[in-house]
């Protein structure tokens, strides 16, 4: 009898420990996936607060069976789906849900689901921070059948302060910053075509960031707390694709940190300045060398015969900049 009691106690305590260990809190979930929600927001204009609130609600903060087994954090069903499938009881018995290889795929598919489905088109007419309209609009468009769905999302956002993430992609102010081919055209700035190229002349009027010039003549700004690629691109009248192209970062870098150097025009290529070789005083990545020296990353790779951009360079090694 004692043996049986001991075995039951072991099973119960093991089960309780496993359950406790696997549970993720709402705050932990938001901390883990907020950067991905912000990235998706800059790409698809879906508020990060709504993205996180839906994921928290639909996946029980990543703890639901569908989230754990199928990496499905938004409860999206199989309609028109050609990937993996999992069957669970929902509004009806044995309904088909989409299965993903990663959580990132779930987030991306949710964004595409909303942007490519015509019944959600009206949502994108709301202001980017209007999470209440988004919450009500999702119910109106048929995303969920629960009549309390909008309020559940709103409560999650307001209780957790998730709307702070929506501000991460908003432009602070659209400043009067124009790029002209010649200074003489600056008087008619509204009529001048904005040009791209290393010979551009910058005309600045009270921008949020102070424009600084590298010793190589390339203009840049230093990021402050809360800056994003999106906000800086809007401030200087650039497309996101341009800003990404002007700067050399790892693919994993989605969020800017205070003190980052961000170029607002193309960096120099190898034929722009005379031959120069530097000796590194510390360990640096090729990306960091490109950013700190205002030199195009592809040019650095070709000049130094590096097969890829992920090379880490040792202290004391020589790097050719031209």
CA distance 29 to 290: 35
- pTM for this entry: 0.50
CB 49, CB 166: distance < 8 Å: yes
Who has greater pLDDT, 244 or 170? Answer: 244
- Proportion of the chain in helix, strand, coil states, percent, rounded to 5: 45, 15, 40
Domains of the chain with CATH codes? 23-166 (1.10.530.10), 176-263 (3.10.350.10), 277-320 (3.10.350)
User: How many Cβ atoms are within 10 Å of 187's Cβ, its own excluded?
Assistant: 8
Note the pLDDT of residue 251. Answer: 55
Question: What value does the mean pLDDT take over residues 201-225?
Answer: 71
Mind listing the pLDDT tens digit for each residue in 57-105? 999 999 999 999 999 999 999 988 888 999 988 767 888 999 999 999 9
Note the pLDDT of residue 75. Answer: 94
């Amino acid at each position: 009898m004692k043996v049986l009691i001991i075995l039951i106690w072991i099973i119960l305590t093991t089960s309780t420990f496993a359950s406790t260990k696997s549970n993720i809190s709402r705050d932990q979930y938001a901390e883990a996936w907020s950067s991905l929600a912000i990235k998706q927001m800059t790409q698809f204009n879906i508020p990060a607060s709504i993205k996180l609130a839906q994921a928290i609600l639909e996946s029980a903060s990543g703890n639901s069976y569908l989230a754990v087994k199928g990496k499905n954090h938004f409860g999206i069903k199989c309609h028109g789906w050609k990937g993996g499938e999992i069957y669970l009881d929902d509004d009806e018995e044995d309904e088909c849900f989409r299965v993903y290889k990663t959580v990132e795929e779930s987030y991306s598919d949710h964004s595409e689901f909303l942007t490519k489905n015509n019944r959600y088109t009206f949502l994108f007419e709301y202001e980017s921070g209007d999470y209440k309209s988004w919450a009500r609009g999702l119910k109106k468009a048929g995303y969920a059948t629960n009549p309390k769905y909008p309020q559940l999302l709103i409560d999650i956002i307001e209780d957790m302060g998730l709307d702070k993430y929506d501000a991460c992609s908003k432009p602070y102010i659209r400043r009067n910053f124009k790029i002209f081919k010649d200074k003489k055209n600056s008087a008619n700035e509204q009529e001048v075509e904005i040009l791209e190229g290393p010979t551009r002349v910058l005309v600045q009027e009270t921008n949020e960031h102070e424009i600084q010039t590298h010793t190589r003549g390339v203009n840049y700004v230093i990021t402050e707390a809360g800056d994003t690629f999106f906000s800086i691109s809007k401030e200087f009248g650039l497309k996101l694709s341009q800003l990404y192209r002007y700067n050399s970062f790892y693919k994993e870098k989605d969020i800017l940190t205070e003190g980052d150097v961000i170029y607002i025009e193309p960096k120099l290529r190898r034929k722009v300045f005379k031959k120069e070789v530097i000796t590194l005083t510390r360990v640096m990545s090729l990306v960091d060398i490109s950013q700190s020296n205002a030199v195009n990353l592809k040019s650095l790779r070709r000049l130094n015969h590096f097969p890829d951009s992920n090379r880490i360079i040792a202290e004391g090694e020589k790097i050719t900049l031209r």
